[in-house]
Amino acid sequence: MTLQTPLFLLILLIFSIFFIGGSLFLILKNEKESLPKVLWVLIVLAFPLVGAAVYYANAVIQNQRAKQQPAY
């Protein structure tokens, strides 16, 4: 299978749509303030895969930091 086969391109397209759609869903669902929400949506739409990957990585890092801090 080469990188030009229609099946590979279809799988890549589906993966990209789910990746971008998932990140947009999480941004719209989780961000509380409107300015960060707008900025993240613009980043994801302007640079789809890179923006979505950066958002997911940022969410994972924030989640790990929240787990490390003691609950009051």
Best CA proximity match to 49, nearest among 26, 15, 25: 15
* pLDDT score of 4: 64
pLDDT of residue 46: 78
Query: C-alpha 27: how far from its chain's center?
Result: 8
Query: Tell me, what's the pLDDT at 2?
Result: 56
Residue that has been written with the tokens 């990209």 in this structure: 16
Q: Compute and round to an integer the Cα radius of gyration of the chain.
A: 16
What are the boundaries of each domain within the chain?
A: 6-68
Q: What is the pLDDT of residue 3?
A: 58
Q: Could you read off the pLDDT of 11-66 as tens digits, one per residue?
A: 878 888 888 888 788 777 876 777 777 887 777 777 777 777 787 788 788 888 88
Per-residue pLDDT at 69: 82
Q: How far apart are CA 30 and CA 19, in angstroms?
A: 16
